[in-house]
Structure 1
């Protein structure tokens, strides 16, 4: 057999091995399968992009609020300094009270540079920033206003570290 005859014979064998379905139907099946796989690829790609964006957001928030733990640990120290200041003032020791006040002011200034602030202790009650410990009858302020602060609250940037414990007016 010559080379040409061998090629023709191989072509005939390949045609005999093909399924009985017409070539047009096979093309339609391939196109439908292609569109299905393309759609699946687009969904998976969109999911991947969403996960990527979410992880980027979480990373940014983790970096943004990385000092939140140490800030919470400093709150009892601030409370202790404030109690020491009150005690020194009640005893009448001006030198010690002035030293404690300067220390407290410097600490609050440094914390303020890093986004830690005291929550407002007067005005309207805000459940996101205040914990109402009790309601007190008061004719001096309108209902729902803060009458007294029992413990200062602090926030770190936009998050509440510790809500202020307050008593609220009830008329």
Structure 2
């Protein structure tokens, strides 16, 4: 073998070793980049889990707050109505106090009547504010809103007509609170 051939063989071996070293380095770089990629993905997963747990905790807190507010709304739903009933109770208390006044019987009776009329007016005002209306008892008997407790003979009314209202009935908007107690003609 000639010197040139030996040198060529040596050069080729060196090139192969360099190529092998380069591919080994590339493999190491690829492995490092894969490790980095896995680490990055694990961090993203951890961040996503953390974000999920925070959102879930916020949702649970909102749910609890809304539940609490719902029960408070139910508990205090009649607060406005209760406030509107304070005026009639005040009128009744004033009527009771006037009964203790040093007046003769006729004047006392007049004052008590005025107090009762004022109280009824205050109740009707409170009912109007809250859409509570009286059940009409003029005309035909309606079993949906009337409760017939007796039948009476009446020359002035046709059969099935309401003769007398014994107790008022009331509606809250369109819902019956209490039917009107009536007597109807035979």
Q: Per the shorter chain, which TM-score range?
A: 0.3 to 0.5
Structure number with greater CO (CA < 8 Å, separation at least 6) is 1
Larger radius of gyration: 2
Give the alignment's TM-score, normalised by structure 2: 0.43
